[in-house]
Amino acid sequence: MSKFLKFTASIVLLGAAWATSANAQDADAGEKVFRKCAACHAVGEGAKNKVGPELNEIFGRVAGSLEDFKYSKAMTKAGEEGLVWDHDSLTEYLAKPRDYVKGTKMAFAGLKKDDEIANVIAYLATFSESAEQAAAEPDSAPAAAPVETASTAEPAVNAADAVIPEHGVYHLGREALPEEVAAWDIDVRPDGVGLPFGSGTVADGGVLYDENCAVCHGVFGEGEGRWPVLSGGFDTLTADRPVKTIGSYWPFASTIFDYVHRAMPFGNARSLSADQTYAITAYLLYLNDIVTEEDFELSNETFSEISLPNEENFYPDDRLEEANFATNVEPCMENCGDGPAEIVMRARVLDVTPDGDEENGAGGID
C-alpha cells in the first residue's frame, strides 16, 4: 500500500477534528492567500498552465495527470501511487510541499499558517465542482463556533517520530547548509576575508552613485540635510566642528564595501550586486582622493592595495586611565568647591528642546 493510501486511511480517524477546522474556511480570505501562488498558478475561467499547472477542478484530480503540463517525475509517480488532490492531501502538501512529494519541482516553501492553508483550499474549491458538492453534504461541516487559536502553533507531530540530531549538548537546531551560510554570511573584514569575487571601476561607480546615493549623500558626497557626509572633512578632526567622513575619519575601506553591500541604498538594501558594490566603493574612494584615476578598478584582488589615511589614529578604549576613574576615592561630601554654585550655562539660552518651534541644536546621532 502506498503512503498516500495509508494517509487517507488515517484521515478517517481524524475526520471529526477536520470537520471543525473546515468550518473556519474562508474563500474570500483564501483569494488573498492565493496571491502567493498566482505567480505560477492560474485558476478560474480560461486558466492556463503557467510555471505550474492550472488549478480548475483540482479536487478529485489525480496528481500529475494533466496531459499538457510537464510534471516532475516525483509528482507523476505520486499520482500513479494513488495520490488524489482533496482537502486532506492539499492541506498536507501546501504545508510542506517538498516533504509531502519529495522531488516536486514546486519551489514554494509552503504556507506556514493553518488558516491560510484552509482558506486557500476553500478558494480553490470554488473552482472545483466535486468539492462544491462535498461541501453541500450535511455531514461534512457540522456547525461549531470558530475558535481563535494561536496561529503560530505547529501542526502536531507524533513526538516519537521527531529526529534528534547528534550535535551539541541539547541536540537542538540543525546543521546549517553551505548555501544557507553563503546566503547570509556577507560580512567583509579589513584583511579582505569575506570579499566576494567581482570588480567595478570609478567611472561605473559614478553612474551608480548618481542613481542610488546622491539623493541623500549629495552629488559630491557632501550630504543633503542631515544625511551623512561621505567625503571631505580632511584636517577637521581637531576642529571645533569635526567633519567625519570616509576620507577624514573611517579607518578601513572594507567597511564601505560591507555597509553598502548589506544596508544601501537606504530603503532598498541588498539590491546591489558585488560588482556594483565594488564600483560604488571605488567611486567613494575617488570622491575622497584615496584613488585618483577614473579608470581605477576595485576588485577582490586590488582591494588590499587600499588603505585609509586615518587608520592609525584609532586606539583601544583607555577610559580607565582617566583621573575620574580612580576607584575607592571617597568623594567630597561637605563644603566642596569654591564659594556657592553659580549658573554658567542654561538650556533656555539655546532653546532647542522640541516643543513645536525649536531651532536645531548642536550634535547628532546619525
180 lies in the binding site for another protein (CB under 8 A): yes
Return the number of the residue (63 or 308) whose C-beta is nearest another protein. Answer: 308
Give yes or no for residue 237 binding another protein (CB under 8 A): yes
Show the site string, 306-325: x = touches another protein by CB under 8 A, - = not: -------xxxxxxx--xxxx
Which residues ranging from 22 to 81 are in contact with another protein (CB under 8 A)? none
3-state secondary structure of 351: coil
Query: Which single residue is written with the C-alpha cell 578632526?
Result: 237
Using CB under 8 A, count the residues that bind another protein: 94
Residue 361 lies near another protein (rule: CB under 8 A):
yes
Measured in whole angstroms, the distance separating CA 63 from the mean position of its chain's CA atoms is 33
Q: Does 227 bind another protein (CB under 8 A)?
A: yes
Q: Give the helix/strand (H/E) hosting 206.
A: helix 202-212
The one among 137, 154, 179, 295 contacting another protein by CB under 8 A:
154
Q: Is 145 in the site for another protein (CB under 8 A)?
A: no
According to CB under 8 A, which one of 69, 258, 273, 301 is a site residue for another protein? 258
* Residues contacting 100, CB < 8 A, separation 6+: 89, 92, 93
CA distance 100 to 94: 9
- Options 17, 107, 215, 263; binder of another protein; rule CB under 8 A: 263
Residue type, 328: N
| CB-based contact 308:247 (threshold 8 Å) | yes
- For residue 336, state whether it binds another protein (rule: CB under 8 A): yes
The stretch among 17-25, 68-76, 287-295, 338-346 that binds another protein (CB under 8 A) is 338-346
Among 4, 252, 283, 286, binds another protein (CB under 8 A): 252
User: DSSP string spanning 262-294?
Assistant: HH-STTSTT-S-HHHHHHHHHHHHHHTTSS--T
Based on the shown chain and the rule CB under 8 A, indicate whether residue 346 belongs to the binding site for another protein.
Answer: yes
161 touches another protein (CB under 8 A): no
Distance in angstroms (rounded) separating the CA atoms of residues 215 and 210: 8
Stretch that binds another protein, among 74-82, 196-204, 291-299, 328-336 (CB under 8 A): 328-336
Applying the rule CB under 8 A, the residues between 74 and 113 that interact with another protein are 112-113
Quote the cell numbers at residue 104. 516536486
- Distance (Å, rounded) from C-alpha 364 to C-alpha 83? 63
Cell of 17: 477534528
CB nearer to another protein: pick between 48 and 112: 112
